[in-house]
A and B are shown apart, each in its own frame.
Chain A
Amino acid sequence: MTHTSATTQHASFRGTDGHELPPWLRMQRSIFNESMAHCRRMAHLPQLYAKMTQIPKGVTPSDVVYEADRLRLLRYRPQGPIRFKTPLVFVFALVNRPYILDILPNKSVVSHFVRAGFDTYLIDWGKPTYADRHLGFDAYVNGYLRDVVRFLQRSSGSRQVNILGYCMGGTMSSILAALHPQLVKNLILLATGIDFSTREGLLNIWNDAHNFDVDSFVDAFGNCPAEYLQACFLMLKPVRSFVTKPVSLYEKLDDKKYVEEFLTMETWLNDNVPVSGQIFREFVKYLYQQNQLAQNRLVVGRRTVNLKNITCPVLNLMADHDDLVPPSQSEPFNDLTGSQDKETIRLAAGHIGLAMGSAAQKQLWPHAVDWLARRSEVVEEEEPTVRPSGS
């Protein structure tokens, strides 16, 4: 930067007669300006807590249509006639609450599919209690997930379902699609870990067998505590979590839109739930440490999960800057499946940005909706069979 441009930017440091102010006056003016800005920002501080308590957890109208233990299945109210026969179900991870997929009106993944005419459902796994600590892959995939699919088969009359799995939910969806390929019509994976042999991500290193004794951990705690998960996620990028973000918030406290989006995101990020001890054990031991899924060695229930059994169309979405699930964990999936119709899309975003970032909302999700629509059977003048309960 040249001296001329720097001088231009310092126009505010000139006096009323146009002459440049002496250094001590410039400093005085800077301190005064910054103090005023500080007061202006601080005036917004008392409203932060009130705003945090009003953060909506899901913006698209929905109804609970099925429950099993802690699990709730939400059905989004159609915004017009249902255009496609096969229902679409979102399978979210067990570590966070699923409302990130429908967090703000302009950042809702769910609404893209609802508006396009898909009969859309979302699984909220709920918060496991101490009694749920023995639930592993078998219980979640062959139990809960398969029960949800059965319910959708009965209620919609469709023999198959479309599945969109996010993160750990994507891994479980892949296992379901491999064990029961006849149930899944189309599979969309979003930031899903499949091949855990990579050492690109910090989680891969921390979860290494040499560094983490998952058996002792689960035996001691029962379920994996939400606070532990939260700490791990924060420590992936400590400078961003503890310095950059608070500083940015402070500087933009008087920007209403920024604050609203910031609080919404932070509310979700801090809304971790514990993970059932057994599935945490299996996930860390069999996937992170032994990479059994990518090697077709993982046993769920009594059956070996063979990814080659997945023959339905697959859309694999991943983020270039994902700290939790690096693209190298997701990318091998397409080569491991037996599907002939598969597509991979990489977006320059992070783990969350892949779902709700501006680029994802403008480019990725319209494309994903179009991809699914082209592979779905259109309804012919027929009303949806499932009615919202209105609860």
Chain B
Amino acid sequence: MNNESKSTGHPGDLLHLWYDLVSHATEAYQPWAGATMSPEVLRQSRSNLYKAWGDSWERFLRSSSFLDNNRQYMTGTLEMKKQVREFFNWLHHEMQLASADDVDQIMATLRRLGEDLREQLEEIHSRLDDFGARLHAGPTQEAPAGKGRDEDVSPPERGNGGRPASLARHTRRVR
């Protein structure tokens, strides 16, 4: 199943789906039309109706008209949120108070420091491991490689990706 197979992709999506639902609903009641309707039959019909309704909704939620509207709504909401945030930042600065962005910058600096410290500690740890392994292996044998510590090392990613772990984490063991 893919996106294209389910979305009809033209402006009349909702109307199309509505007709589709009515058609399914009619079908759901059709087998018993004219017969005496027992509660079980009605329940089954209702279940079929719900299923048809659910299927119609699913198709609508996959349709390009829903996705386009949703994107526009989201863009508008985010823009408004951004403007509100900028206004409050301006207000805080005018009142000579620390804004959320100021705190954010301090936190980012602390995290960067934490990351640097962690990397250095890991490097020392790695060197100590290698040193220990060489000592145990003896002077004539080649030292074994570290246990997966340095495989697949990629350059550090900055910006939106791989943010550093926090060394400011307060770790406490409860007893």
Which residues on the B side are within 8 Å of A202 (C-beta)?
58, 61-62
Task: Give 1 or 0 for each of A270-284: 1 = CB within 8 Å of chain B CB.
Answer: 000000001001100
Q: Are B160 and A212 in contact (CB under 8 A)?
A: no
Chain A residues with Cβ below 8 Å from B15 are none
Whether B162 lies near A301 (C-beta < 8 A) is: yes
B107 within 8 A of A: yes
CA distance A245 to B34 in the complex (A): 30
Are the CB atoms of A389 and B174 closer together than 8 Å?
yes
A241 CB, nearest partner CB in chain B, Å: 10
CB distance from B76 to the nearest CB of A (A): 11
A356 to B171, CA, bound (A): 33
Q: Does B32 contact A (CB under 8 A)?
A: yes
- The answer to whether B38 touches A10 (Cβ under 8 A) is yes
B163's partner among A278, A302, A304 (CB-CB below 8 A) is A278
Tell me, in angstroms, the Cα distance from A303 to B35 when the chains sit together. 69
Are B67 and A285 in touch, CB under 8 angstroms? no
Q: Which residue of A lies closest to B41 (CB)?
A: A1
A-B contact count (CB 8 A): 145
**Bound Cα distance from A212 to B78, whole angstroms:** 11
For residue B12, CB closer than 8 A to chain A, the reply is no
Chain B 13-32 interface 0/1 with A at a Cβ cutoff of 8 Å (1 = within): 00000000000000000001
Option from A67, A135, A220, A301 in Cβ contact (under 8 Å) with B172: A67
Closest chain A CB from B170 CB (angstroms): 6
A204 to chain B, nearest CB (A): 8
Residue A3 at the B interface, CB < 8 A?
A: yes
* Proximity string of chain B (31-59) to chain A, C-beta cutoff 8 Å, 1 when within and 0 when not: 01001101111000000001001100110
Q: Which of A119-173 contact B (CB under 8 A)?
A: 130-131, 134-139, 142-144, 147, 151
Given contacts A6-B38, A9-B39, contact A302 B153 (CB under 8 A): yes
Docked complex Cα distance between A143 and B74 (Å): 33
Q: How far is the CA of A216 from the CA of B172 in the complex (A)?
A: 35
Known: A66-B174, A180-B148, A182-B147. A205 touches B67 (CB 8 A): yes
Q: How many angstroms from the CA of A205 to the CA of B148 in the assembled complex?
A: 37
Chain B residue at minimum C-beta to C-beta distance from A390? B175
Chain A, 262-314, CB within 8 A of any chain B CB: 278, 281-282, 285-286, 299-306, 309
B94, CB-defined interface residue at 8 Å? no
Contact status A200-B162, CB under 8 Å: no
A65 at the interface (CB under 8 A from B): yes
Closest to A237 in B: B54
Contacting residues, chain A, for B107 (C-beta < 8 A)? 131, 134
- Let me know if A6 and B36 touch, CB within 8 A: yes
Select from chain B the residue with minimum beta-carbon distance to A140. B165
Whether B174 lies near A238 (C-beta < 8 A) is no
Asked whether B81 lies within 8 Å of A220 as measured between CB atoms, the reply is yes
- The secondary-structure label for the interface of chain A is helix
A199 touches B (CB below 8 Å): yes
- Contact check, B36 vs A10: say whether CB atoms are below 8 A apart: yes
**When the two chains form their complex, are residues A9 and B40 in contact, meaning their CB atoms are under 8 A apart?**
yes
Q: Report if A391 contacts B (CB, 8 A).
A: yes
Contact B162 A138 (CB under 8 A): yes
CB of A50 closer than 8 Å to a CB of B: no
State the CA gap A67–B173 with chains docked (Å): 6
- Flag if B170 contacts A69 (CB, 8 Å): yes
Chain A 241-260 per-residue mask, 1 if CB under 8 angstroms from chain B, else 0: 00110000000000000000
Cα-based distance from A124 to B160 in the complex (angstroms): 26
**A205 CA to B64 CA, complexed, in Å:** 10
Q: Does A32 count as interface, using CB distance less than 8 angstroms?
A: no
Mark each residue of chain A from 99 to 121: 1 if its CB lies under 8 Å from any CB of chain B, else 0: 00000000000000000000000
Would A217 and B162 be within 8 Å (CB), given that A182-B148, A238-B57 are in contact?
A: no
A353 to chain B minimum Cβ distance, whole angstroms, is 17
Please list the 4 inter-chain residue pairs (A to B) with the smallest Cβ-Cβ separation, ordered nearest first. A143-B165, A239-B54, A139-B165, A220-B81
Given A211-B70, A302-B162, 11 more contacts at CB 8 Å? A1-B35, A139-B166, A143-B169, A144-B169, A182-B148, A212-B71, A216-B78, A220-B82, A237-B54, A302-B153, A305-B152
Interface residues of B (CB under 8 A from A): 1-3, 32, 35-36, 38-41, 50, 53-54, 57-58, 61-62, 67, 70-71, 74-75, 78, 81-82, 85, 100, 103, 107-108, 111, 119, 147-148, 151-157, 160-166, 169-175
Enumerate 30 A-B pairs (CB-CB under 8 Å) in ascending A order: A6-B36, A7-B36, A10-B36, A67-B174, A134-B111, A136-B161, A138-B164, A143-B165, A143-B166, A147-B169, A182-B148, A205-B3, A205-B62, A205-B67, A211-B71, A212-B71, A213-B75, A215-B160, A220-B82, A221-B81, A243-B50, A244-B50, A299-B162, A302-B119, A302-B154, A302-B155, A302-B156, A303-B151, A303-B154, A304-B152
